[in-house]
Amino acid sequence: MKKLIALAALATAAFASPAMASDFAGPRIEVTAGADDVRNGVDPTDIAYGAALGYDLQFGKVVVGAEATAANVFDRADLGAAARLGYTLNKNVLAYTRVGYTNLERPAVRGVVAKLDGLTVGGGLEVKLIGSTFAKAEYRYTDFDGGLGRHGGLVGFGLRF
């Protein structure tokens, strides 16, 4: 019986991790806002606002995740999906990179709807606040079909579940 208890304790210790190991793991929801610059008149507002749903897994200091994004839905449809790869700098700060797909559809102007597909890359810092809340700052670049590009700087606020 003592051997069984010792084995169970050892197995628990082997699979247990420090509190930091799950600080950036699990489902998350966030809102974002910032500036964005699409060339050649596709986006006259230069303002970005949106939301994202994501899920992250943490392996020690490494965080891997995926997210779905929606931005500026009242002005145009800007939908995307991305993968994230991050590294925890300390128990409260995550530095990450992201790569994904974006589809930008602007309403008809003179009867023409702009539909653009693009590869988006970027990175940022996510900082834990109080409880399960976090704030982030992020840069994104999107390379659309037809030689169009978009630079964006975003800040966000979110909640992990």
Condensed to tens digits (0 to 9), the pLDDT of residues 56-104 reads 999 999 999 999 999 887 777 789 999 999 999 999 999 999 999 999 8
Residue 116 confidence class, pLDDT cut points 50, 70, 90: confident
Residues in the chain: 161
Average pLDDT over residues 114-120: 88
66's tokens: 């995926």
pLDDT computed for residue 14 by the predictor? 41
pLDDT computed for residue 73 by the predictor? 74
Residue 10 has pLDDT above 60, yes or no: no
| Residues in Cβ contact with 37 at an 8 Å cutoff, skipping those fewer than 6 apart | 43, 46, 150, 151, 152
Average pLDDT over residues 103-130: 85
Residue 107 has pLDDT above 60, yes or no: yes
Fold of 2-160: Porin (2.40.160)
> Which of 4-13, 27-36, 68-77, 120-129 is least confident?
4-13
C-alpha span between 108 and 120 (Å, rounded): 24
Question: Sign of the C-alpha dihedral, residues 22, 67, 64, 152?
Answer: negative
28's tokens: 């998350």
| Residues in Cβ contact with 89 at an 8 Å cutoff, skipping those fewer than 6 apart | 95
Residue 131 confidence class, pLDDT cut points 50, 70, 90: very high
pLDDT computed for residue 81 by the predictor? 98
